[in-house]
Structure 1
């Protein structure tokens, strides 16, 4: 994809993970300036693009905290300039049938997936409104069970949390369209990452969507070339 994001500032939560790294790499190649919050020191050590001249990072950011999320966005914008796009990959997976999933674990999934997305969307909209760009782009990460809840058997808490991300995306897209902010989400099936391969050793990995394939979809959605797609929860299942 020949996309020009020359000096456009994009925040990528979860940017140090497998999908996030693929997204940051494409953004850098397109000329963007990137900001990536870390939750722990392990991410800081393993994120190979963390020292790139166009990448700002900050460790110890808990995106379930509204205060810390707001502070990171302010810090990133001070460092990298007005915000054009915000991509929300941060989250967590939880397997378990309902009798083995106490309310504490359910609430953890809501915090990891729905609350982090909500806090990030809220901060992004606040900074995009009235910015030099007069608009912006937001992309969230839902999941296949958010669109097909029956696919979420045995992981109901996760399914509900990602359904919340999908609903947030559609609602927010309608709320901010007059500000020229386009909000979308992708809904992957199982992503082909080393972690997923290790946990499902008998699966057919060839059918899973690859991080770089999903990154291409995200890149288009945050690009100025996307002028009309909003409120979409786009299935990215590969052949699975």
Structure 2
């Protein structure tokens, strides 16, 4: 089960997982988007379903998880890819914006992971992959990321806590922290000047591709990673390693 499959990294992940032989149930916030990307993959012969779901609604998220578990006969993998965003200088940040970012980037994970956790407990395990950000490890003054960094730091902490709690039940939990990746969401969040500034901080000075993140998620989901849990992996062109 993959969230945010109507576009960007989630759409790429849905295709990469399907090409690896997975049966996929996706979802997206924008009306009809996840259904459209799933239909395109079904036309190519893959077993993929997609639904429009507002994951900030705990009941809607739970229903999506339960519907997917019933359709798939269980849940082997939950890839929490979807997230909203919100940026502002801290002096201008309102409590409403701060709470909205925490809801859209951290609470959202609880809404999907809690019901999926219960399914995995009953089935002897599974793999959960969360999407964090290099903003969880580094401050970025230019974009006003205090709320984003707080939320994604919470994602990393939640990942390690669940990895510890789930280990005895065979549940592995890991996180991926992407750098600047070319997606519709990043295009909407910054102008050309901001984009160039971002790229200048990466050791490999090009944007990441959504499929590059997706392939690493496939690894974390696979049996090849069965001894890997509680980790946060930076797939970021080297931005957290240093500057050129």
What's the TM-score, normalizing by structure 2?
0.86
Check the 8 A contact 2:129/2:176 in 1, yes or no. Answer: yes
Correspondence list, 1:130-145, <5 A: 130-131=122-123, 134-145=124-135
C-alpha separation in 2, matches of 1:140 and 1:146: 13
SS in 2 for 1:57: strand
What's the TM-score, normalizing by structure 1?
0.87
Q: Which residue of 2 aligns with 1:23?
A: 13
Give the alignment partner of residue 28 of structure 2, picking from 35, 38, 54. 38
| Unmatched segments (≥5 aa) in structure 2 | 240-244
Q: Which residue of 1 aligns with 2:191?
A: 200
SS in 2 for 1:168: helix
Give the alignment partner of residue 56 of structure 1, picking from 42, 49, 54. 49
| Unmatched segments (≥5 aa) in structure 1 | 1-10
Structure 1 residues 179 and 12, CA gap change in structure 2 (3 angstroms): same
Q: For each residue in 1:135-171, what CA deviation from the matched residue of structure 2 results, as whole angstroms up to 9, or x when unmatched?
A: 11000000001122x2366111111111111111011
Q: CA deviation at 1:127?
A: 0.7
Q: Which residue of 1 aligns with 2:68?
A: 76
C-alpha separation in 2, matches of 1:94 and 1:237: 20
Q: CA deviation at 1:200?
A: 3.3
Q: For each residue in 1:51-96, what CA deviation from the matched residue of structure 2 results, as whole angstroms up to 9, or x when unmatched?
A: 625112222x221222221111111122222110000011112111
SS in 1 for 2:224: coil
Check the 8 A contact 2:130/2:159 in 1, yes or no. Answer: yes
Check the 8 A contact 2:38/2:48 in 1, yes or no. Answer: no
Q: CA deviation at 1:213?
A: 0.8
Check the 8 A contact 1:118/1:168 in 2, yes or no. Answer: no
Check the 8 A contact 2:12/2:210 in 1, yes or no. Answer: yes
Structure 1 residues 119 and 195, CA gap change in structure 2 (3 angstroms): closer
Q: Which residue of 2 aligns with 1:6?
A: none
Q: For each residue in 1:170-220, what CA deviation from the matched residue of structure 2 results, as whole angstroms up to 9, or x when unmatched?
A: 110000000111100001112122553463314149422211111111010
Check the 8 A contact 2:175/2:232 in 1, yes or no. Answer: yes
Provide the aligned length of Structure 1 versus Structure 2. 226
SS in 1 for 2:136: helix
Check the 8 A contact 1:207/1:239 in 2, yes or no. Answer: no
Correspondence list, 1:103-122, <5 A: 103-122=95-114
Q: CA deviation at 1:49?
A: 4.8
